[in-house]
Amino acid sequence: MESRMPLLGEKIEDRKLKTTHGVVNFPGDYRGKWVVLFSHPADFTPVCTTEFVAFQKRIDEFKALNCELIGLSIDQVFAHIKWVEWIKEKLGVEITFPIIADDMGEVAKSFGMISPAKGTNTIRAVFVIDPEGVLRLILYYPQEIGRNIDEIIRAVKALQTSDANKVAIPAGWPNNELIGDKVIIPPASDVKNASERPKQFECFDWWFCYKKL
């Protein structure tokens, strides 16, 4: 497998993967759903444990978005199972989403999750895949920094809103400093369209128009 960061807009190739919930065909088994695939450096590590608890605490929010979670590291499946048991016993949180056991590192290499500077551990990567199996968003974090799960939820909501309404989403949406929860109209396609924009929408100028959904 080629070791590189996949490209946005690429369709993810189906493959059979071992997980804590048995063998899955990924992402084929998730067709019709959004998926957040996220890698962590290793089981039984403090930052990863906080992330798994945070993901689980918000799982209903993901499911409300028709979005499934699936974790991954290069640990073996028995290590995943034992770690999940430890989280439930010691922290009182039951991890209900599957974790891929990529013990040969094939998935991690094909997704560019291995950083040579960090040895063989997977970095903290997040891949948002749409219901057609197309990669739509990538986030990479260093091993030392835990993810903001609320931002991942926001990103999935933003992608869905953009797809459904053919609009662009401003920074910090739905709490943008300039236009609040409004969304941005796509660029004008010609001179006539540009001149008509301010008559149809709220605008700072013809190239920056927005509306309330």
Q: Which residues are marked as active site?
A: 48
The one-letter amino acid at 82: K
Q: 64-69: long-range contacts at Cβ-Cβ below 8 A with a sequence spacing of 24 or more?
A: 65/34, 65/153, 65/156, 65/157, 65/160, 66/32, 66/33, 66/34, 66/131, 67/33, 67/34, 67/35, 67/36, 67/156, 68/30, 68/33, 68/34, 68/35, 68/36, 68/97, 69/35, 69/36, 69/38, 69/97
* Residue 174 and residue 183 in contact, taking contact as beta carbons nearer than 8 Å: no
* Residue 6 and residue 64 in contact, taking contact as beta carbons nearer than 8 Å: no
